[in-house]
Chain A
Amino acid sequence: GNSVTQMEGPVTLSEEAFLTINCTYTATGYPSLFWYVQYPGEGLQLLLKATKADDKGSNKGFEATYRKETTSFHLEKGSVQVSDSAVYFCASRYGGSQGNLIFGKGTKLSVKP
Chain B
Amino acid sequence: SQTIHQWPATLVQPVGSPLSLECTVEGTSNPNLYWYRQAAGRGLQLLFYSVGIGQISSEVPQNLSASRPQDRQFILSSKKLLLSDSGFYLCAWTSGTYEQYFGPGTRLTVT
Residue positions of A touching B, CB distance < 8 A: 32, 34, 36, 41-46, 49, 51, 89, 93, 97-98, 100-101, 103-106
Could you say which of B92, B98, B105 contacts A93, with CB atoms under 8 Å apart? B98
The distance in angstroms between the C-alpha atoms of A100 and B98, with both chains bound, is 10
Nearest opposing residue in chain B for A33, CB measure = B98
The answer on a CB contact under 8 Å between A101 and B105 is no
User: In the complex, which residues of chain B have a beta carbon less than 8 angstroms from the beta carbon of A44?
Assistant: 44, 90, 92, 102
B100 contacts partner chain A, Cβ-Cβ < 8 Å? yes
* Given contacts A42-B105, A43-B104, A45-B102, A97 and B97 within 8 Å (CB-CB): yes
- B residues within 8 A CB of A34? 98-100
Does the CB pair B43–A43 fall under 8 Å? no
Contacts of B6 in A (CB 8 A): 43
CB-based contact A104/B43 at 8 Å? yes
Q: List 16 A-B contacts (CB under 8 A).
A: A32-B98, A34-B99, A36-B102, A41-B107, A43-B90, A43-B102, A44-B44, A44-B90, A46-B101, A49-B98, A51-B98, A89-B43, A97-B95, A97-B96, A101-B100, A106-B42
